[in-house]
Amino acid sequence: MPTTRFHPSRRGATPSVAEQMRSRARKVEAKGEKVIYLQVGQPSTGAPAGAIDAIHRASDTSILGYTSAAGIPELRARISKNYQDQYGVTVDPERIVITFGASGAMILALIGCFDAGARIALPQPFYYGYRHAMGTLGVECVPFDTSMESHFQPTVDDIEQIEGEIDGLIFASPGNPTGSMMPREQMQELSDYCQRKEIRLISDEIYHGIVFDDEVPQQTATAFSDEIIVVNSFSKYYSMAGWRLGWMVLPEYLVEPISNLAHNLYLCPPAPSQYGALHAMDCREELDGHVDRYKKNRDILLAKMPEMGFDRYSAPHGAFYLYCHVKHLHEDSLQFAIEMLEGCGVLAAPGSDFSVRHGHHYIRFSYAGSTADVEEAVARMTKWRNR
């Protein structure tokens, strides 16, 4: 650490377990072994063909300069149509703001809706990025427990256990790392409770579209109240993670302040991605093909994992993750993940990133990759567990 005034600010520098694990995997690869990455949080496919064509056409006919901070009107209108087509919900295009991924949407929501020091509840297990972002942005993250019996989705009872007042609450359905979904009635209850208590509810719907069964139908929280902020993205179902594009649905009175913030922080979301995304929304056949593969991969894991001792989880309804309780296999899931990587060349994500309390007893497997890789990983893990 330098002894001058020049040093990294206290806002950044959150260590990532994921990065530590990747560098261990590279060492295994350096010895000539192929590692199967079951820790990834993104599709293994590229953008749909229609989006790629659209981007080429747009670059032929436009300079692709700055757009309006809230995004191009055509995309806002296309997303609005999607709410009508997919959920039967009317959302005024003026309430939709295009952002720099769901990450950008969440940053805008946190800065735009809460003052420094506000307390935002985060059900654990959670997507770790949000916890770290809160620390950086000066709001307090208040993690609270959910239960496997409620599929790790927060109930009003869970929220009532939180000590002290909270100003906001973030939840995701389907969730990361669990892939489980919140039933409609539970979401309605949560929404009513938060309205009554004046808790700002933020619904992360980034895994919408990647839903496997009718057991828990996909539900957008915007159907319950215009006050709920919805964040979503082209990174997962649309298979466009690196295009860095997402959106938020806002109450009308927040559109202008949030757009001003976006303008001041980064001017506008990326123009090429916006033109591509406009057409990605018409590529459902191709994209649904990826969902069929995720489902097939999930079914392989659900059939084979219990035989290896990975038998404690809430079966995922969507997304591409399986979050397993492994305390009976090892006291520390980070160490367990390292031993598995070194023992059979399969990398999974230790749970410590996802929960401050119980993470060290869990491990997350991603099945976003090819079915061949999932099958190979299962074969390797079976051999390793039965050694």
- Closer of 114 and 381 to ligand PLP (Cβ): 114
Radius of gyration of the chain (CA): 21
- Closer of 233 and 314 to ligand PLP (Cβ): 233
Count residues near ligand PLP (CB under 6 A). Answer: 14
- Closer of 97 and 206 to ligand PLP (Cβ): 206
Question: Apex CA 145: angle with CA 136 and CA 156, to 5°?
Answer: 105
169 binds ligand PLP (CB under 6 A): no
Q: Which of residues 228-257 bind ligand PLP (CB under 6 A)?
A: 233, 235, 241, 246
Reported in sequence order, the residue ranges of the chain that DSSP labels E, i.e. its strands, are: 36-37, 96-99, 119-124, 140-145, 168-172, 200-204, 229-233, 246-249, 321-325, 346-347, 349-350, 362-366
In this structure, what DSSP letter does residue 34 have? P
- Closer of 243 and 310 to ligand PLP (Cβ): 243
- For 353, the token pair is 């990133």
In angstroms, what is the minimal distance from the CB of 215 to ligand PLP?
A: 20
Cβ atoms < 10 Å from Cβ of 375? 14
Only one of the segments 22-30, 76-84, 97-105, 266-274 lies at the binding site for ligand PLP (rule: CB under 6 A); that segment is 97-105
Cα atoms in the 13 Å half-sphere on the side-chain side of 344: 18
Q: Which residue has the closest beta carbon to ligand PLP?
A: 101
The identity of residue 191, as a single letter, is S
Alpha carbons 170 and 140: distance in angstroms, whole number: 13
**What is the DSSP pairing of strand 119-124 with strand 168-172?**
parallel
Q: Which of residues 129-168 bind ligand PLP (CB under 6 A)?
A: 129
Cβ atoms < 10 Å from Cβ of 382? 15
User: How many distinct helices (H) and strands (E) make up the chain?
Assistant: 12, 12
41 binds ligand PLP (CB under 6 A): yes
- Closer of 361 and 364 to ligand PLP (Cβ): 364
Alpha carbons 75 and 214: distance in angstroms, whole number: 29
**What is the DSSP pairing of strand 229-233 with strand 246-249?**
antiparallel
Select the residue interacting with ligand PLP from 39, 67, 80, 103 (CB under 6 A): 103
- Closer of 175 and 345 to ligand PLP (Cβ): 175
Select the residue interacting with ligand PLP from 206, 261, 326, 381 (CB under 6 A): 206
Only one of the segments 98-106, 184-192, 345-353, 358-366 lies at the binding site for ligand PLP (rule: CB under 6 A); that segment is 98-106
- Closer of 101 and 112 to ligand PLP (Cβ): 101
Only one of the segments 15-23, 61-69, 100-108, 371-379 lies at the binding site for ligand PLP (rule: CB under 6 A); that segment is 100-108
173 binds ligand PLP (CB under 6 A): no
Binding site for ligand PLP (CB under 6 A): 41, 101-103, 127, 129, 172, 176, 204, 206, 233, 235, 241, 246
